[in-house]
Structure 1
Amino acid sequence: MRRVFGPVSRRRRLPGRVVALCGALALLAACGRGAADDGEGGGPGAPAGVTATAGSATSVHVMWNAVSTGAGVREYEVYRDAVKVEDVPAGEHMVDVTRLAPSTTYRFTVRARDTEGRLGPRSREVAATTPAAVAADHSPPSRPSAPRGRVVGARVVQLSWSAATDDRGVTSYDVYQGGTRIHSVGGGQTATVLTGLRPGTRYSFTVRARDAADNLSPASTPVVLTTAPGTDDGRGTAPTAFHAATHRTDGAYYLDLDWIAPRTGGVVTEYQIQLDGQPATSLVWGGTPPRGTASYSFYLGRDAGVSHRVRLRARLPDGTWGGFSPELTVTTGAGGK
Structure 2
Amino acid sequence: MKIIWTITILAFIGLIIVKIGFSQGEEKASAPEKNSAHNSKTSEIYFAGGCFWGTEHYFKQIRGVTATEVGYANGNLAKPSYEQVSTGNTGFVEAVKVDYDPTLVDLKLLIDLYFKTIDPTSMDKQGNDIGTQYRTGIYFTKKEDEKTIRDEIGQLAKSYSSKLVVEIGPLRNFYTAENYHQNYLEKNPQGYCHIPADLFEKARQANPKPAKYNKVDKKTLKKELTALQYDVTQNNATEKAFDNAYWNEFREGIYVDVTTGEPLFISTDKFESDCGWPSFSKPINDRLIAEKSDRSFGMNRTEVRSKTGDAHLGHVFNDGPTEQGGLRYCINSASLRFIPKDQMKAEGYEKFIPLLQTKSDKTK
TM range (shorter): under 0.3
Q: Which has the larger radius of gyration?
A: 2
Q: Higher strand share goes to which structure?
A: 1
Q: Higher helix share goes to which structure?
A: 2
TM (normalized to structure 1)? 0.19
**Larger RCO (CA within 8 A; separation ≥ 6):** 1
